[in-house]
Amino acid sequence: METRKLNRINRFLYNPKLSGIAICVLCLGGMIIARFLEEWFRFSDYHRVYKYGSLLSKNLVFLMVGCSFLHPIVVISEKGKQWVKHWIWILIGLLPFLYFGISMTIAMSRTIE
């Protein structure tokens, strides 16, 4: 009985499709929440909502960028030689890391000029 539960948990945790989509959705959700918190609560009487909400959403985004970096490593180590079948989900899970990496590169190159 316990083995079945562990197998279900193991399949859920290392499902490349589910984890890749979850990483992208949570990262995008954190960015959208931060944007709307700035517009609605920054200069209102609810400035504490802005303060704590922006802290939580930025931490969520940075956590998802870190998970996005680790996602391909986990999938390749778990799937072994079968990781080639999951390359599209590896790439989708890597999108937040690529987004921040490319945007930081562009921002740094503009400040140098």
- Mean residue pLDDT of the chain comes to 84
Q: What is the mean pLDDT of residues 21-33?
A: 92
**8 Å CB contact between 28 and 99:** no
pLDDT at 113: 62
Percent of the chain with pLDDT over 90: 33
Band of pLDDT at residue 100, cut at 50, 70 and 90: very high
Q: Is the pLDDT of residue 60 over 90?
A: yes
pLDDT at 26: 93
Q: What is the mean pLDDT of residues 37-59?
A: 82
Q: What is the mean pLDDT of residues 43-72?
A: 87
- Write the CB contacts of 106 (distance below 8 Å, at least 6 apart in sequence): none
Q: What is the mean pLDDT of residues 40-59?
A: 83
- Write the CB contacts of 94 (distance below 8 Å, at least 6 apart in sequence): 68, 69, 71, 72
Question: Considering all CA atoms of the chain, what is the largest pairwise distance in Å, rounded to the nearest integer?
Answer: 63
pLDDT at 3: 66
Q: Where are the domains of the chain?
A: 2-112
Q: What is the mean pLDDT of residues 57-71?
A: 92
Distance CA 103, CA 109 (A): 10
